[in-house]
Structure 1
Amino acid sequence: MSVAGQSPKGLKAIATLEAFKGILSLVVGFALHELGGKEIQHLCEALLQHLHLNPASEIPSVIMHSVNEINDKNLTLVALGSVLYASIRLVEAFGLWRGYAWTEWFALASGAVYLPFEIYAVATEGKLLPVIALVVNLVVVGYMSIVIAQRRKEKRAMS
């Protein structure tokens, strides 16, 4: 099902992006859960040593302090959270791929929710990754707005 005059390629591209985010979330969540607290600590220590970073300097010390706070309960919550997030993203991807109208609204809303945070990150950090995230999200929100407006226009024309 597609909106008149519009290629479903855009919806399929967004569906692919959402599926990728869902799968990535599962992989990261389960990898963290499988590694466990002690393994993550050893991995971080080895990485800092490999990169020749001083563990007492600011950023490495913050990383090591955060890693030391990790326990099995936290990791289980992270794994459960990643399953929940991935489920939402994969359902959204499936619905967009199939052209379900409700997932178009969901994609618009779920993308719009992140915009203030991404704008803040761009304004305060000025780094490339937040800029890329903001641009991609603006494209998704803008595209979904157009899709929804076209669908509504079609409905009115058919009435």
Structure 2
Amino acid sequence: MNLTTKKRRNPLHWIACFEAAKGVVVILAGFGLLSLLHRDVQAVVHELIDALNISPTHHLVDVFLKLVEHLNDRNLWQFAGIAFMYASVRLIEAYGLWHDRQWAEWFAALSGAIYLPIEVYELSVHLSTIKLLVFTFNVVIVSYLSYNLWHKSVVSRHQRK
């Protein structure tokens, strides 16, 4: 592997680390859900709201409390299972990106691009710095991966001639 290839792979390593981090965070969230089994989830949420010093009159607190109102152990298992599946996909993607696998680049570009229309809609409904940063970050990653795939395709065609 020459220096040019190493320089070109480095952004894939950063993207792989980002995907792995998302996978780890979701695994932790899944275990967090499982830690709520056989507990009064509403009481735990109230404790969390108090610990984070969030105003109980905030409209999002009411929405969140309504969401957990009917949460039971079966739902917790289901949500944790979905979290673990999602995390597995992210970690497999991270492995593929780290090892410069083309399938992982395609998957990362497509899975990132899926969110772009939703992010544009969210920005049009309510513009915020966080939403703009997430959108920009996603555009940069999808653009880089798309360019990288295109570049590899061009190089491959020239090598076949």
TM-score, normalisation: structure 1: 0.89
Question: Which sections of structure 2, spanning at least 5 residues, go unmatched?
Answer: none
1:17 and 1:54, CA in 2 relative to 1: closer, same or farther beyond 3 A? closer
Aligned-partner SS, 1:9: helix
AA at the equivalent of 1:134: F
Distance 1:75 1:5, change over 3 A: closer
Aligned to 2:37, the other structure's residue is in SS state helix
Query: Would you identify which runs of 4 or more consecutive aligned residues in structure 1 move more than 6 Å?
Result: none
How many correspondences in the alignment? 158
Pairs within 5 Å for 1:113-124 = 113-124=114-125
Alignment correspondent of 1:97:
98
Q: 1:18 to 1:54 in 2, by over 3 A?
A: closer
What's the offset of the Cα at 1:158? 0.5
1:59-70 matches, cutoff 5 A: 59-70=60-71
Answer yes or no: is the 8 Å Cα contact 1:25–1:83 preserved in 2: yes
Instruction: State the partner residue of 1:81.
Output: 82
Contact 2:36 2:76 in 1 (8 A): no
Letter in 2 for 1:19: A
**1:106 counterpart = 2:107:** yes
Query: What whole-Å deviation, never above 9, does each CA across 1:12-70 have from its counterpart, x for those lacking one?
Result: 00000000011111100111121237343222212334526245x63322221112121
Aligned residue for 2:30?
29
| RMSD across aligned positions (CA) | 2.2
Q: Where does residue 53 of structure 1 map in the other structure?
A: 55
Match of 2:140 in 1: 139
Unaligned runs of 5+ residues in structure 1 are: none
Q: Which has the higher contact order (CA 8 A, sep 6+)?
A: 1
In structure 2, the partner of 1:17 is 18
The percentage of aligned residue pairs carrying the same residue is 32
